[in-house]
Amino acid sequence: MSSSNEENGSTPSITERIEEDKRLARSLEGTYLFDGLRSQKNYPLNKMCMSLTKPENREAFAADEAAYCDRFGLSEESKKLVLERDWIGMIRSGGNIYYVFKLASINHVSMQHVGAQQNSMTLEEFRAKLNAHRDQ
């Protein structure tokens, strides 16, 4: 009943491969594997950020940020993270960097600024960290 149509030997190896891959990816410090679990975690935040690709939505957001967040059903905690532009807080809460970055873009906040804040560094410190790689 439980034997598969094809050779059964590959089942454990696929499972092992997937589990090992996820274990490794989840073990990386300061990294939030954006898998199915995380994709469900703060769906409203990502959806709100995605909507900012339309100019009329950016205007509505600018007019009343909190009300706009409510329209997308953000939790009070997530709304606070958005209003305070707490980038690392948004990522931790389940934000996907590609959607969250749209929120930065509308205020012309650069990725370097977002990266610095996530690292609790000043922009200068963060740039020095990036440039340090030139020696490698």
Partner 1 sequence: MAEIIAAVTTSHVPSIGIAMDTGITQDPYWKPLFDGYLPAKEFVKKLKPDVTIVVYNDHGLEVFLDRVPTFGIGAAAQYLSGDEGWGPRPIPPFQGDPDLSWHLIEHLVAQEFDMTMFQEMSVDHGFTVPMSVFFGGPAGEVEEWPTRVIPITVNTIQFPLPMAARCFKLGQAIRKAVDAYPKDTRVLIVGTGGMSHQLQGERSGFMQPNFDRMFLDKMVTDPMALTKIPNGVFMKEAGHEGAELIMWLVARGAMNLEVEEVYQHYHVSASLTAAGLACYRNK
What residue ranges bind partner 1 (CB under 8 A)?
1-6, 10-12, 14-15, 17-18, 20-25, 28-37, 39-40, 43, 46-47, 50, 52-55, 58, 88, 91, 96-99, 101-106, 108, 110-112, 114-115, 118-120, 126, 129-131, 133-134, 136
Note whether 42 and 48 are within 8 A (CB).
Answer: no
Nearer to partner 1, 18 or 67 (CB): 18
The least CB distance from residue 63 to partner 1, in Å, is 17
Nearer to partner 1, 54 or 76 (CB): 54
The least CB distance from residue 74 to partner 1, in Å, is 15
Sign of CA dihedral 44, 45, 48, 53: negative
Nearer to partner 1, 60 or 88 (CB): 88
Q: How far apart are CA 96 and CA 27, in angstroms?
A: 18
